Amino acid sequence: MNTTDQATSTTLRETNKQIAREFLRLLEVMDIEAWAELWAEEGIQEMPFPPDGLPPRIVGKAALYNHYKYLPEMYLSMRFPISNLQTLEDPEWVIAEYTGEIPIKTGGYYNNRYCSLFHILDGKILLTREYFNPLILTDALGDSFNDTF
């Protein structure tokens, strides 16, 4: 790799890591409209191990917005401290490990650990694949889980 290619790769890596950070920051402030703008029109969120009632795949910016727009009604706040954030060999791919610290408006907390893989192209998220413990989610939301999703 020549010096110009290396500089371009380094810049792309930092840009894409910043987009992943912004993804979490906008969820923290529950600005779902701005969060949706991070996505490509055909963006996809996959959750390989969702609990019953949660879709394993959400396709398209509009569908993602519609799925997440209710977060401010459900949660008092959200915090996602990142413990690890790296690009893969291909700088379009970012992996993030983080925790969620989320008090629920109806009482209790939804605190979980996550690992998300991001595919980012031309400054837009094409894919996130989010791994988390679904039992923690259903336990935290209890009977309101099915009403929520």
For the chain, list the domains and their CATH numbers: 3-148 (3.10.450.50)
The pLDDT score that the predictor gives to residue 8 is 79
Q: How far is Cα of residue 132 from the mean position of the Cα atoms in its chain?
A: 11
CB 39, CB 120: distance < 8 Å: no
Q: What pLDDT was estimated at residue 9? A: 86
pLDDT band at 106 (very low <50, low <70, confident <90, very high): very high
* pTM as predicted: 0.92
- The three-point CA angle 36-37-40 to 5° equals 90
- What are the beta bridge partners of residue 20? none
Q: In angstroms, how far apart are the furthest CA atoms of the chain?
A: 57
pLDDT digits (tens, 9 = 90+) for 3-57: 567 767 899 999 999 999 999 999 999 999 999 999 999 999 999 999 988 999 9
Pairing of the two strands 124-132 and 39-46: parallel
Give yes or no for residue 149 having a pLDDT over 60.
no
| Cα gap 23→34, rounded to integer Å | 9
| H/E segment holding residue 98 | strand 93-103
